[in-house]
Amino acid sequence: MPLKLTTYHIGSDIPPLPGNDTFHSTTLFRIYEATPGYSPLLIVASLEGQPVAKLLAVVRRSVRLFPPSIIHRCEVFGNGEYLIEGIDREAVFRDMLQRLTEEALRSCFLIEFRNLPDARFGYRSFRSYSYFPINWLRVRNSLHDTPRTEVRFSPSRIRQIKKGLKNGAEVRVARTIDEIKEFAHMLHHVYSWKIRRHFPSREFFRQLALQATDPQRQSRIFIVTYKNKIIGGSACIYSGDNAYLWFSGGMRKTYALQYPGVLAVWKALDDARQQGYRHLEFLDVGLPFRHHGYREFVLRFGGKQISTRRWFRFRWKWLNRVLTWIYK
């Protein structure tokens, strides 16, 4: 019986589905769906009426100042979730990739596959649908083999954590919707000058907090406070045995002695270790240049730099052909 593909654009239409990969879950679909500027789509592959794989993508609207423009881009974390043993994953992925490419390019300027668990998986499929790879860098901290979170931290990082706490900063999980709103407002201000870094609507963080009450607790937001004011924080998402730090930041210029950005990352790492996660990965450590400020910042927490690749596909055929030729 041939593989059947079904595409869902509305969360209420999605039937109950198995799986434990948060990046391809109905939960994350609904978070995207409730976020202004985001339009998710979920592709479910079935055999004889049984779901065997799923692939979640999100189309997001990005406003660029230089040059002035509004760009729609499609992002996928990973290469899908496969629900049964024994299926030909490469063949199933190829069919889902074809469906995604056809649907996304109707409205998107760019499709991007990122944070692939296996950089070799799907190589032929990506190439056959005119995607091109760019070498990228990831940073991941191992948590399962350390008695304390700070074991691999640099000495300067440990001193900063101690000084920040000594100088009156406190770090904890956000408790109320008002705290989430204040955290999102602070983080938006921190990100606003970083033109290359995408920042979602503040509703995105509210939705993360709302679904965090689920028994599976697939997300958590930490805040750094000083004299009852939120000066830093981080947002994490959890999937399987791993934690992922999605956004973090702090008002480091105004509150330099409290080291809010450092404390925000430290708390995310420490909590993930205490909760039993094996690794914490930073979802975006910047463009793959030799030196990058944010990547250098997170590496001082003792993580390892991993070489990987991202796959891209542009809507403009001439541009895609040129880049495919460059990145053979």
Q: What is the mean pLDDT of each run of 10 residues along the chain (328 residues)?
A: 91 94 94 94 94 96 60 93 93 97 94 89 94 90 86 92 96 91 89 63 88 66 95 93 92 91 95 93 75 80 88 93 86
DSSP collapsed to 3 states, 174-215: CCCHHHHHHHHHHHHHHHCCCCCCCCCCHHHHHHHHHHCCCC
Q: Which pLDDT value is given to residue 195?
A: 38
110 contacts 319 by C-beta, under 8 angstroms: no
Determine the topology of domain 139-307 in CATH.
Aminopeptidase (3.40.630)
Question: Using CA atoms, how far apart are residues 9 and 43, in angstroms rounded to an integer?
Answer: 9
Which residues make Cβ contacts (< 8 Å) with residue 166, sequence separation at least 6? none
The CATH class given to the 4-129 domain equals alpha beta
For residue 68, the model assigns a pLDDT of 44
Whether the CB-CB separation of 25 and 80 falls below 8 Å is answered with no
Q: Are 223 and 234 in contact (CB under 8 A)?
A: no
Q: Are 245 and 268 in contact (CB under 8 A)?
A: yes
- The whole-number pLDDT of residue 46 equals 96
DSSP code of residue 167: T
Question: What residues have CB less than 8 Å from 286, skipping those under 6 apart?
Answer: 196, 292, 293, 294, 295
Residue extent(s) of CATH 3.40.630.30 domains in the chain:
4-129, 139-307
